[in-house]
A and B are shown apart, each in its own frame.
Chain A
Amino acid sequence: MSDARNLVVIGEAPLATLAAAIGVAERGTQRVRVVELPPERIAEDGLESLAGESPDDTDVFAAIGPAALNFARFDLWAKLRFKGYRCATLVHPRAFVDSSAVLAENVLIGPGAVIEPGAKLGRGTIVGSAAVIGAGCGISPWCWLGSRAVVGAGAEVGPHSVIGGGVHLADKTVFPGPGEIGIAGSYHGTFQAGTFIASEFPVPGARLVVTG
């Protein structure tokens, strides 16, 4: 991606703040702009704030947190793509991404995060500060990996999953999305599809019964 292109970060803090900081480090202050947009206004927003920005010389970044299992960020990304914009991939200068790792668009890698060899991160996935994505991991599109989350080597995380801060998935763990692990701690094995673990529903948590 060319550093000569402008970047408009659309969303809300704290992700928008982090995305803008990475953008400034890559492209300079003059080329980065932030547009505030909370998740509850995405549906009604017509993206008028981008009226003066051409997709020919401007990249965008959908900086919405894990609201609604990352569907809110997905909705904004879809709107941006429909308008013809390309979404940037943002890697913090103090993150380490192995050259054999694959990062899709609208992925953000936070400061201190480590992406080990052969890991693949799908579109729209956010990796928080000091998180570690092990070698050969498959992280599907529209995931959220909180600060200090660790995904062991060879693990698989399904789409629209939220892996909270301080969660450690052992090597080769399979966590099919959509779902959430919101309680810090170590987890291993193969989870049932649609598993939700949070303070309201600690282990065994809640589970999707049928999804159309």
Chain B
Amino acid sequence: MRSILSSSDYTSPEVLVAEERCLFRRLWIVAGFKSLLDAPDAFVTHRIGGVPVVLQNTATGLKAFVNRCVHRQSAIQVADFGQRRLACPYHGWVYDDAGRVKSIPGNDANYGFTVESVSTLGLQPIALKTIGGLVFVNLDADPMPIEEQFHAGFLDRLAEVTGVVGDDALFAKFEGRYNWKLNFENVIDWNHVPFVHTSTFASLMPTLKPPLPGERPASPPPAPDEEIGDEIRELSYETRAPFDFQAWPWHDAVERCADTREYLNLFIYPNVNYVVMAGAVHLIQQFTPVAIDRTEVRLTMALGRRKQRLPAAPAILWSQLKAEKRVIDEDLAVFEGIQRGFHEESPRAFHGHYEHRIRRVAKVYRGLMASR
């Protein structure tokens, strides 16, 4: 079966413009761990659907705004993470908890604004929802209920898994030269692991080697395309891989979402692979398009809440993050090769039985892109 998507879906700049409007500024998008925003004035910045976004812990709770000063449109918060009040670094305009202009340095001398003239000015608010330890935002002026995007059972599971995340975390971001959709297609494709991750995952999971003929029952043929569901809630789900992570003494020092050595995945459409290793190490892998052929990968790795002192937390996170990056680099080499190979007359990908999930993602994507 040929892929539902064509090469232009991965290469045309117009497609990205439509994706930002139809997907990223319409759907609920993961914005990060709530535990990293617990401190007063803690913030995290993002770029979602082309829009700069800031999440800020204010005196009246967690808020999300467009991260752009109403004065001369500078970013209010510049760093990826930090702890700082809502004050523009360009000319010092300060905003209150609701995003309204609170004070303007030198107003009388330089601007001459009256109280009335600035009373209507403020940062554009963004809808925000917390599920367990995870914060979502939605840039739509009339956001859909989050239950329309995710099954209730999946949201419950997300809340359960992420509810134990603590405040020890390591963050990194980097770019790859490929289209972001290749990333989501890849994380739900378990069959690439024994081929691509021979020097990383394969050693942890020897049972992943490709089966010999007759060793496993044949995959049933998938439903024809017209019978594939177009339900967006089906795109986000949980899987487990029987890895055998080493049991470290520090595992007892943190809250774990499960007493297991497994590798747990929660795929969160459209652009997050949430990973839990041995129930103790949590990782948000987020794939954000910055151009049709460039993707920013954001990795936020955190441990479960500390039950006792764990001074070595930074060392644990650093070693885990480096290991994870080596796995991701193996994937990125494949994605960048695929992207380089696209051209105007590229034939569509050729799918087999097991790739029905990738086809369902494409069908839902087509529906979303046609909806606005």
Interface residues of A (CB under 8 A from B): 43, 68-69, 71, 160, 178-180, 194, 196, 198, 200-201, 205-212
Q: Given contacts A71-B312, A196-B318, list 5 more A-B pairs with CB under 8 A.
A: A69-B314, A208-B317, A209-B171, A210-B39, A212-B310
Cα distance A178–B318 in the bound complex, in angstroms: 10
Name the B residues within 8 Å of A69 (CB-CB).
312, 314-315, 318
Residue-by-residue, is B167-178 near A (CB-CB < 8 Å gives 1, otherwise 0)?
A: 111111010000
Q: Which residue of B lies closest to A194 (CB)?
A: B314
Q: Which residue of B lies closest to A207 (CB)?
A: B171
User: Counting chain B CB atoms within 10 Å of each CB, which of A71, A160, A200, A209 scores highest?
Assistant: A209
Q: Contact partner of A201 among B167, B172, B310, B313, CB < 8 A?
A: B172
Cα distance A211–B174 in the bound complex, in angstroms: 22
Ranked 10 nearest A-B pairs via Cβ: A206-B172, A68-B315, A69-B315, A71-B312, A200-B325, A178-B314, A209-B169, A210-B167, A209-B81, A200-B322
B319 and A211 within 8 A (CB): no
Please give the distance in Å from A46's CB to the nearest CB on chain B: 14
Please give the distance in Å from B200's CB to the nearest CB on chain A: 12
CB-contacts of B14-65 with A (<8 A):
35-36, 38-39, 42
Q: Contact partner of B319 among A43, A68, A205, A212, CB < 8 A?
A: A68
Name the B residues within 8 Å of A160 (CB-CB).
314-315
Name the B residues within 8 Å of A211 (CB-CB).
167-168, 313-314
Is B161 positioned at the interface, with any CB of A under 8 Å from its CB? no
Name the B residues within 8 Å of A194 (CB-CB).
170, 314
User: Given A210-B36, A210-B39, A212-B306, A68–B312 Cβ distance below 8 Å?
Assistant: yes
Cα distance A205–B173 in the bound complex, in angstroms: 8
Name the B residues within 8 Å of A206 (CB-CB).
170-172, 299, 318, 321
Cα distance A179–B174 in the bound complex, in angstroms: 19
Q: Which residue of A lies closest to B311 (CB)?
A: A71
Please give the distance in Å from A22's CB to the nearest CB on chain B: 27
B169 and A212 within 8 A (CB): no
A209 and B314 within 8 A (CB): no
Name the A residues within 8 Å of B316 (CB-CB).
68
B329 and A212 within 8 A (CB): no
Name the B residues within 8 Å of A209 (CB-CB).
36, 81, 169-171, 300
Please give the distance in Å from A179's CB to the nearest CB on chain B: 8
A-B contact pairs, 29 of them (CB 8 A): A69-B315, A71-B311, A160-B314, A160-B315, A178-B315, A194-B170, A194-B314, A198-B322, A200-B326, A201-B321, A201-B322, A206-B172, A207-B80, A207-B81, A207-B170, A207-B172, A208-B169, A208-B171, A209-B81, A209-B169, A209-B170, A210-B35, A210-B38, A210-B169, A211-B313, A211-B314, A212-B168, A212-B306, A212-B310
User: Given A68-B319, A200-B322, A201-B325, A208–B172 Cβ distance below 8 Å?
Assistant: no
Name the A residues within 8 Å of B81 (CB-CB).
207, 209-210
Cα distance A193–B92 in the bound complex, in angstroms: 26
Count of chain B residues with a beta carbon within 8 Å of a chain A beta carbon: 34
Is B122 positioned at the interface, with any CB of A under 8 Å from its CB? no
Please give the distance in Å from A203's CB to the nearest CB on chain B: 11
Please give the distance in Å from B124's CB to the nearest CB on chain A: 25
Name the B residues within 8 Å of A207 (CB-CB).
80-81, 170-172
Residue-by-residue, is B192-214 near A (CB-CB < 8 Å gives 1, otherwise 0)?
A: 00000000000000000000000
Q: Contact partner of A180 among B169, B313, B318, CB < 8 A?
A: B318
CB-contacts of B304-340 with A (<8 A):
306, 310-319, 321-322, 325-326, 329
Cα distance A66–B48 in the bound complex, in angstroms: 39
Name the A residues within 8 Å of B174 (CB-CB).
201
Name the A residues within 8 Å of B168 (CB-CB).
208, 210-212
Name the A residues within 8 Å of B163 (CB-CB).
none
Name the A residues within 8 Å of B310 (CB-CB).
212
Q: Contact partner of B313 among A43, A198, A212, CB < 8 A?
A: A212
Cα distance A178–B170 in the bound complex, in angstroms: 12
Please give the distance in Å from B265's CB to the nearest CB on chain A: 21
Cα distance A9–B312 in the bound complex, in angstroms: 24
User: Counting chain A CB atoms within 10 Å of each CB, which of B167, B317, B319 scores highest?
Assistant: B317
Please give the distance in Å from A160's CB to the nearest CB on chain B: 7
Name the A residues within 8 Å of B313 (CB-CB).
211-212
Is B249 positioned at the interface, with any CB of A under 8 Å from its CB? yes
Residue-by-residue, is B136-173 near A (CB-CB < 8 Å gives 1, otherwise 0)?
A: 00000000000000000000000000000011111110
Name the B residues within 8 Å of A196 (CB-CB).
170, 172, 318, 321
Cα distance A28–B80 in the bound complex, in angstroms: 55
Cα distance A178–B317 in the bound complex, in angstroms: 11
Please give the distance in Å from A211's CB to the nearest CB on chain B: 6
Q: Which residue of B lies closest to A198 (CB)?
A: B322
Please give the distance in Å from A163's CB to the nearest CB on chain B: 15
User: Given A68-B319, A196-B318, A200-B326, A212–B166 Cβ distance below 8 Å?
Assistant: yes
Name the B residues within 8 Å of A71 (CB-CB).
311-312, 315
Cα distance A72–B285 in the bound complex, in angstroms: 29
B249 and A43 within 8 A (CB): yes
Cα distance A43–B306 in the bound complex, in angstroms: 19
Cα distance A158–B315 in the bound complex, in angstroms: 14
B170 and A208 within 8 A (CB): yes
Name the B residues within 8 Å of A212 (CB-CB).
166-168, 306, 310, 313
